[in-house]
Amino acid sequence: MDKKKPDDQEKDMEHMDHDSHEDHGDHMDHEEHKDHGSHHAHMLADFKRRFIVSIILTVPVLILSPAIQGFLGFDLPLPGSEYILFLLSAVVYFYGGYPFLTGFIDEMRKKTPGMMTLIAVAISVAFLYSSAVVFGLSGKMFFWELVTLIDIMLLGHWLEMRSVMGASRALEELVKIMPSEAHLLKGDDVKDVRVDELETGDRVLVKPGEKVPVDGDVLKGETSVNEAMLTGESMPVTKSEGDEVIGGSVNEQGSIEVEVRKTGKDTYLNQVIDLVRNAQESRSKTQDLANRAALILTVIALSVGAITLAAWLYFGSEFVFALERAVTVMVITCPHALGLAIPLVVAVSTSLAANSGLLIRDRQAFERARNVQAIVFDKTGTLTQGKFGVTDVVSLAAMEEDEVLALSASLESNSAHPLAVGIVSSAKEKDLDITGPDEFNSMPGKGIEGIINGRKLKVVSPGYLRENEITVTDDEVEKIEEKGKTVVFLLEDDKTVGALGLADIVRNESKEAIANLKSMDIKCMMLTGDNEFVARQVSEELGLDEYFAGVLPHQKAETIKDVQKDYVVAMVGDGVNDAPALVQADVGIAIGAGTDVAVESADIVLVKNDPRNVTDIIMLSGNTYSKMVQNLIWATGYNAFAIPLAAGVLFSYGILLSPAAGALLMSLSTVIVAINAKTLKM
């Protein structure tokens, strides 16, 4: 795969003072998406309510069941007990079993029989046959098997929904980035209007610290704009007359007038929203393991049940006996343990993950993680700290390097610009003396100036030097620039006395994470909106297999698609610009300290903000899958013994599996499944 080549352009350093950002609201209608989330919450509450009601009604059913009384050795004669059993079981069947009966209908419509079909067949056969026995048919009642089966299936589905619930609110979070109001210019008058009232061609005023309300072109003014949340570009970008600005980006310094170029669904941010939505809707879902097992058992239950009935009738048995054997087969074929086999492992793995700083939001994606062949990392805030630090100090006069850094930090101490913060932090790490400036003046897009202990100083961008025809010839400075680092210059009395090289600091954890993943034969790649030089420097430092530089959000999803042609891909990111790629990837992983939209778009969240946890995800996914397979074997394996015995293949030897004995086997498999799930480790 070829790397994405960015335009070769030099980005100058811009300085600013941060004013507090204005509050913003959500001005777009996403009721449909909110309804989707509330629907999941309603379903979870519904399963819990049905489970509680069913478990309460199960107690008297168990006490009144002849099989349970015989098994426990007590007798509780009660006139009309069989009718009480029928009524209580009917409530559990229709109320508790409602989700499975409707699920069965849905699976039949979609021609995808699975767990719902198996459960519906088992409980329906047990209820209808037992009801017939109550009203005159000779045979045994299966009411207690019916209600306990419904209880366990409700519990299993409730646990599963509870562990994976948290439907994505990515679209809502994206919209929150946009301000709700704009300053509309009409002649010399300024009027605050709702953003959705703006039309193409309108002029709006954007003040320092405010978010740009829509996509447009700068008509007047000069400023620096922070687009990191949208494009992934870590450096603020200078904007002046004729330049484009993106809705949602932050105006950091001067006031500007902007002509509205795009509104509504045509804006850059809304295109990102559409990318997220489309990727969410188009993602294919792998078929659940339990559903596949359930489909096989459904076929076995119906076919073996029918064969059992036909065989006993063929050999001259009474219809009542043959029917009882067939029903026993079909009820026993649906093991209680199967309903807990997957949910129990999910619950344990979710708990293990949470304790290790991993939040699983999509179980199917988590299961896919075991097959990941390539991981694509965002750069800023993921592999790097997302903040600048001084990496190089160069003295260009008779001045110590520490003095260059200390004077620069003193001048920058009143600024909240990312570069200023980085310079001050680096000076503090060295315990250098930082003195506040006596005078201070910001030069938007150029730098900063002030007086420190009577010395007239400036910290400026390369653009300022060019503009004032100040030439700096130094091999060390050139080497720093060649590495793609940001260089600023310290001037005293308009003479260059020093230079600072700054870069987004690579996390120490990233180096260990990449080494671990490569030891597992997983390809490690990087995706960034930064330029080629910065991307290459970080890639070489970490030993990545591949990198893609200068990639915008709408290109990121496409880049992931390209990588997916060759690999099963996981994407790790933390910003709005990563959201489409996170959703497009086979597994989307968000850094927990990142933006809400990245977290809501992801399948898994690294709560501890540590890229090394990616290795833990893959290992836990593999272990979890193994436990699921083991549990499915335990949950269904006893059928190899129970079904033939229930059908009566050893009847001539006096061996016939009774419903009570079948229930004991089911209970044993359930206990084994529970214990096995608890043994899951990272």
Residues classed as catalytic: 378
What is the sign of the dihedral through the CA atoms of 260, 273, 378 and 391? positive
Residue 594 is given by DSSP the state: S
What is the sign of the dihedral through the CA atoms of 415, 416, 419 and 420? positive
Helix ranges (DSSP H) in 565-649? 579-584, 596-601, 613-637, 639-647
Give the distance, in angstroms, between the CA of residue 435 and the centroid of all CA atoms in the same chain.
Answer: 45
Which residues make Cβ contacts (< 8 Å) with residue 573, sequence separation at least 6?
377, 378, 382, 527, 579, 581, 582, 588, 589, 590, 591, 594, 598, 602
Both tokens assigned to 147? 């209600």
What is the rounded CA–CA span in Å between residue 420 and residue 406? 12
Q: Return the H-helix or E-strand segment holding 46.
A: helix 31-64
Neighbours of 556 (CB within 10 A): 30
Tell me the Ramachandran region of residue 454: left when phi exceeds 0, alpha when psi lies from -120 to 50, beta otherwise: left
Q: Do 249 and 212 touch, CB atoms closer than 8 A? A: yes
Phi, psi for residue 239 in degrees, rounded to 5:
-125, 130
Both tokens assigned to 399? 């001045």
Query: In the β-sheet with 447-452, what is the strand arrangement from edge to edge?
Result: 384-395, 495-506, 486-492, 455-460, 447-452, 439-443
Q: Return the H-helix or E-strand segment holding 573.
A: strand 569-573
Closest CA to 485 of 515, 506, 511: 506
What is the rounded CA–CA span in Å between residue 659 and residue 657? 7
What is the sign of the dihedral through the CA atoms of 295, 297, 302 and 304? positive
Phi, psi for residue 202 in degrees, rounded to 5:
-65, 155
First CA to last CA distance, the chain: 34
Read off the amino acid at residue 446. K
How many CA atoms are closer than 13 Å to the CA of 325, on its beta-carbon side?
A: 26
Tell me the Ramachandran region of residue 220: left when phi exceeds 0, alpha when psi lies from -120 to 50, beta otherwise: beta
Q: Tokens 């079993």 — which residue?
A: 97
What is the rounded CA–CA span in Å between residue 470 and residue 492? 13
Q: Return the H-helix or E-strand segment holding 223.
A: strand 223-226
Q: How far is CA 448 from CA 293, 424, 437, 495, 621, in A?
A: 68, 14, 11, 15, 51
Closest CA to 217 of 237, 233, 236, 241: 241
Beta bridge partners of 632: none
Strands (E), 417-513: 439-443, 447-452, 455-460, 486-492, 495-506
